[in-house]
Amino acid sequence: MASELRVNTLKDAAGNNSVAMQYVANGSAKAKVSYDGNNNTIRSSFNTSSVADTSSGRYYWNNSSAFTDTNTGVLSGATHRSGTQSLTGISGVVQRSTTQWDLNAVNQSASQADAEVGALGTGDLA
């Protein structure tokens, strides 16, 4: 038998630090990834099944659970720690489907370059 818990507000054990349920359901990240594109390694993740390194500076981030649609938001960033060439950031993030994002990293010359990338996905899960 399935159970259901209905609450309006969550508080910590001391009764402080409350948060309304609308922020828990609508404002929380539903997926995250920290990926080292130089070594093809996922450092930490949530709701991430894999990351595919498709070419220099281009990665497909695959989610374990699908989002309801392709109109979700993503916050991302990158760093490049090789030699004197520094990374300007993610040049593009495209949601390819309800389970996959395309992350692109570029260097100061606007050329795609492998990097350490991180991203958070928000929206509703299916």
- pLDDT given at position 108: 75
The percentage of the chain sitting over the pLDDT mark of 90, rounded to a whole number, equals 36
> Residue 104: beta bridge partners?
58, 92
Average pLDDT over the chain reads: 85
- pLDDT given at position 112: 87
- pLDDT given at position 84: 56
Check residues 98 and 81 and name the one with the higher pLDDT: 98
Distance, in Å, from the CA atom of 32 to the CA atom of 118, rounded to the nearest integer, reads 7
What tens digit of pLDDT does each residue of 88-121 get?
Answer: 666 678 889 999 999 988 877 788 888 888 899 8
Residue 81 has pLDDT above 70, yes or no: no
What tens digit of pLDDT does each residue of 13-40 get?
Answer: 998 888 888 777 777 889 999 999 989 9
Which two three-digit tokens encode residue 13?
Answer: 């054990």
What are the domain boundaries of the chain?
29-122
- Among the listed ranges 21-25, 52-56, 64-68, 82-86, which one has the minimum average pLDDT value? 82-86
The torsion angle over the Cα atoms of residues 66, 69, 75 and 77, rounded to 10 degrees, is: 70
